[in-house]
Chain A
Amino acid sequence: MKIGFRRVMAGLLIVCMGGLTAPLPALAGIVGTDTVVAGVERERLASLLERSDVRARLESLGVDATHAKARVAALSDTEAAQLAAQMDQLPAGGDLLGAALLVFLVLLATDIMGYTKIFPFTRSVR
Chain B
Amino acid sequence: MQFRTTPAAAGVFVLAAALLAGCAAPQISSLVERRPPGLAARAEIAAAPFFPQEAYQCGPASLAAALVHAGREATPESLLPQVFLPARKGSLQAEMLATTRRHRLVAYPLAPLLQDLLREIAAGNPVVVLQNLALSWAPRWHYAVAIGYDLDAREIVLRSGVTRRETMSLDTFEHTWARSGHWAMLALPADRLPVTATETSFIAALAALERVAPAEAHTGYARALARWPGSATAQVGLGNASYAMRDLPGAAAAYLRATRDHPASADAWNNLAQALHELGSRDEALAAARRAVALGGARSQTYRETLEGILRQP
Contacts and interface: CB of A to CB of B under 8 A. Distances in A.
Interface stretch (B44-52, B56-64, B69-77, B112-120): B56-64
Given A114-B169, A118-B134, A125-B23, A40 B140 contact: no
Interface residues of A, number: 62
Interface of A: 22-23, 25, 27-37, 39-41, 58, 60-64, 67, 70-71, 73-76, 79, 82-83, 87, 90-98, 100-103, 105-107, 109-110, 112-118, 124-126
B237 interface: yes
Contacts of B171: 114, 124, 126
B226 interface: no
Nearest to B297: A39
Interface of B: 8-9, 12-13, 15-16, 19-20, 23-24, 55-59, 81-82, 85-99, 101-102, 130-135, 138-143, 154, 161, 168-169, 171-173, 175-176, 180, 200, 203-204, 206-208, 210-212, 233, 236-237, 240-241, 243-244, 267, 270-271, 273-274, 277, 298-299, 302, 305-306, 309
A54 to B, nearest CB: 9
Most B Cβ at <10 Å: residue of A31, A96, A97, A116: A31
B93 A90 contact: yes
A63 B23 contact: no
Contacts of A116: 133-135, 172, 175-176
A81 B200 CA distance: 20
A110 B132 CA distance: 13
Nearest to A34: B207
A26 B44 CA distance: 43
18 contacts: A31-B236, A31-B271, A32-B207, A33-B237, A34-B211, A36-B207, A36-B236, A61-B88, A74-B211, A79-B98, A92-B90, A92-B141, A93-B141, A114-B23, A116-B133, A116-B135, A116-B172, A125-B23
